[in-house]
């Protein structure tokens, strides 16, 4: 598989590194408005390949994306002091217009994997700009939030995170919904697993985990300025699902026809992912409180998306 990554800052470069380490691509092309940065990232990652895989990593312009089957979009602009969220979104929509116009000209058949924040709204903007089927425009969504949720539950229970099946739904952001009621350890509910393991999930423990999941990015950004390892690994896992056509269930964001009474909204639910993109969506069983929270998250995202003017390419 040939993969293009547009935007070689911390997230784009870390995703390229993780994908290359796992040998998930035959070739990775790095594209950035600063060609010198893209070349430096390509060289640095290439020097790790003798220890890991045979993936070829190179920098190039948009023309070098010809034949790419998947494009990771990690480009965008940062928020200026005093700038509103909607103004930032409008500027990022224009960045995406330019980037996607170039990408679609050379790789019109590629799946698009959106990593730029706010990822759900940018996923919706991308779908509107390109007119591609929603199944081929995939936001990283809550893949990282879900990993954080599973990690914290596993720590509390004394288990491997791979043995915990739990999802974060809705927005990748403050309105996200931790689906406690559908979480499982093996075939057991969290309550049953906690009791059998002698590590009950009390209300205090739940509140602590909930807060830790929601505030994780803020703490990391406060400590080192940005997050990149977790999302880089998450993007690599999504690439693996496409490259191997493994039909795994991933919490990714796509434009969804209807959820919790809200139509046409980009948000995360568990989705079946393979080489053609999103194959199917799965709606977890939710408590009435979780259902209401998901509706609130969906309405927030829908309102934000509708406030950003987008003219198709």
Is the separation of the CB atoms in 67 and 56 below 8 Å? no
The Cα 119–Cα 187 span in angstroms is 32
Q: How far apart are the first and last CA of the chain?
A: 27
To 5 degrees, how large is the angle CA 271–CA 151–CA 186? Answer: 65
Structure tokens at 307: 């406030």
Phi, psi of 239 (to 5 degrees): -60, -40
Buried residues in 155-183 as b, exposed as e (16+ CB within 10 A):
ebbebebeebbbbbbbbbbebbbbbbebb
Q: Please state at what angle helix 85-106 crosses helix 119-130, rounded to 10 degrees.
A: 50
**Catalytic residue (choose from 47, 156, 165, 172):** 172
DSSP letters of 244-273? TT--EEEEEEEEEEEETTEEEEEEEEEEEE
Q: Across the chain, which distance is largest between two alpha carbons, in Å?
A: 58
> Among this protein's residues, is 172 annotated catalytic?
yes
**In this structure, are strands 248-259 and 111-114 parallel, antiparallel, or unpaired?**
unpaired
Length of the chain in terms of residues written: 313
In whole angstroms, how far apart are CA 244 and each of 24, 25, 204, 247, 294? 8, 10, 41, 8, 31
Nearest residue to 184 (alpha-carbon basis) of 166, 209, 207, 199: 166
What DSSP element (H or E) covers 306? Answer: helix 288-306
> Hey, which residues are catalytic here?
172
């Amino acid at each position: 598989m040939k993969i293009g990554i547009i935007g070689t800052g911390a997230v784009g470069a870390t995703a390229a590194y993780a994908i290359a380490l796992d040998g998930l691509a035959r070739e990775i092309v790095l594209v950035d408005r600063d060609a010198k940065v893209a070349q430096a990232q390509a060289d640095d990652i290439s020097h790790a390949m003798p220890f890991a895989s045979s993936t070829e990593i190179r920098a190039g312009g948009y023309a070098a994306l010809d034949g790419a089957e998947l494009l990771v979009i990690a480009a965008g602009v940062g928020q200026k002091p005093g700038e509103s969220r909607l103004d930032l979104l409008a500027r990022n929509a224009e960045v995406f217009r330019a980037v996607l116009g170039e990408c679609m000209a050379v790789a019109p058949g590629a799946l698009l994997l959106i990593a730029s924040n706010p990822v759900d709204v940018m996923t919706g903007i991308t779908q509107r700009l390109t007119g591609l089927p929603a199944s081929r425009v995939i936001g990283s969504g809550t893949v990282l939030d879900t990993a954080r949720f599973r990690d914290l539950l596993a720590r509390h229970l004394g288990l491997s995170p791979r043995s915990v099946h739990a999802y974060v739904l809705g927005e990748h952001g403050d309105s996200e919904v931790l689906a406690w009621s559908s979480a499982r350890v093996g075939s057991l509910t969290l309550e049953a697993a906690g009791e059998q393991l002698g590590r009950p999930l009390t209300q205090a423990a739940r509140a602590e985990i909930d807060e830790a999941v929601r505030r994780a990015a803020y703490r990391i950004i406060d400590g080192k300025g940005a997050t990149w390892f977790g999302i880089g690994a998450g993007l690599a896992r999504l690439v693996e699902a496409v490259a191997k056509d493994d039909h795994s269930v991933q919490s990714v964001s796509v434009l969804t026809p209807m959820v919790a009474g809200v139509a046409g909204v980009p948000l995360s639910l568990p989705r079946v992912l393979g080489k053609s993109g999103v194959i199917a969506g799965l709606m977890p069983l939710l408590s009435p409180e979780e259902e209401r929270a998901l509706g609130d998250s969906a309405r927030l995202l829908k309102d934000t998306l509708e406030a950003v003017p987008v003219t198709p390419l």
